[in-house]
Structure 1
Amino acid sequence: MNTKSILRESAAGIAAHDEQLAFSSKDFHKTFARPVYIRPTHLVHRNVEKAGGHDQFSTERKHPVFFVDLPSKNVSMTIGGLLPGQLTNRHRHTYETVLYVLEGRGYTEIEGEKVEWQQGDAVYIPSWAWHRHQNLSDAEPAKYIACENAPQLQNLGVALREEEGRDL
């Protein structure tokens, strides 16, 4: 078998894996010694907020949440908005979060500690830390980008999320 055939077979194996939900013991041979570029289904998600909020998640969190729909298997990104004065439910998850504040000012309470933030700040939320967010303005909304390693942990089968009031 020549190199092109091996790469084609490798690419077919990886593409087949992308269609599977998870590897099983019979798939051990689909781990290859050399990376192969497989073009994802799409590389850009245009007008994220115009695509609409995620209704169920927005309702649960009590603030608008817009999922960035890109085919990453390791990192997710959402755009979160807080209405004037809004306070979210306490929740925690096994994945880490980094927030980047696009506009507004408020705080994130992490395990009882208030961490104030404003436009241009970044906030780190460790895994499994109880936290919630509040917009400190009574007149202006706040908006942030949240980046998380949730897909990576979901693909490993170890992602957990707990909402106060729903799960407790």
Structure 2
Amino acid sequence: MHHAGVTAQVHGAFSDERGHGVAIVDLPSRTLSLTIGHLRAGQSTRLHRHNYETILYITKGQGYTLVEDRKVEWKAGDAVYVPVWAWHRHVNTDARHEAEYVACENTPLLQNLGEIALREEAPSQEGHE
């Protein structure tokens, strides 16, 4: 299988729901998902958590991921692990350039075991770094 032009499909309901650009790699994997996340200059994701693991590979830019109370700084070429059910957000610290990352998650595995993949947004972004 092949999915051409993945990043040409960044906008849409999935991106709107997340509050930042996300392109879904649409291949028939039953255990892993792959997405390409985009953060505009200075943008951050909303604080959220989920019951699936995430590994990020940073392809462009610099910033940090806040995982619970730990700040994990990253730049292009770095990888970041986000454990199950940990509150987190990704932040692009560059005021002029976009950041991009590839996110690999085991969401399909949980979905195929009985629709048990869960995600939760924090109730308020005020006061969170």
Instruction: Confirm or deny a common fold (TM above 0.5).
Output: yes
Question: How far apart are the structure 2 equivalents of 1:57 and 1:142?
Answer: 18
- Larger % of strand: which? 2
Secondary structure of 1:154 counterpart: helix
Of the two structures, which has the highest relative contact order with CA contacts closer than 8 Å and spacing of 6 or more? 2
After superposition, the Cα gap between the structure-2 partners of 1:55 and 1:165, relative to the gap in structure 1 and judged at 3 Å, is farther
* C-alpha RMSD over aligned residues: 1.2
- The yes-or-no answer on 1:71 pairing with 2:24 is no
Question: How far apart are the structure 2 equivalents of 1:71 and 1:63?
Answer: 24
Larger Rg: 1
- The yes-or-no answer on 1:58 pairing with 2:15 is yes
- Larger mean CA deviation between 76-85 and 57-66 belongs to 57-66
In structure 2, what residue type is equivalent to 1:163? E
Aligned partner of 2:109 in structure 1 is 152
Secondary structure of 2:96 counterpart: coil
Secondary structure of 1:139 counterpart: coil
In structure 1, what residue type is equivalent to 2:25? V
Superposed structure 1 runs of 4+ greater than 6 Å apart: none
Percentage identity across aligned positions? 56
1:119 to 76, 91, 103: 76
Q: How many residues align?
A: 123
Give unpaired runs (5+ residues) of structure 2: 125-129
1:134-149 to structure 2, matched below 5 A, reads 134-149=91-106
Question: How far apart are the structure 1 equivalents of 2:28 and 2:51?
Answer: 21
TM-score (norm: length of structure 1): 0.70
Question: How far apart are the structure 1 equivalents of 2:5 and 2:122?
Answer: 32
- Larger % of helix: which? 1
What are the superposed Cα offsets for residues 109-133 of structure 1, whole Å, 9 maximum, x if unpaired?
0012110000000000001000001
TM-score (norm: length of structure 2): 0.91
Give unpaired runs (5+ residues) of structure 1: 1-42
Question: How far apart are the structure 2 equivalents of 1:139 and 1:81?
Answer: 14
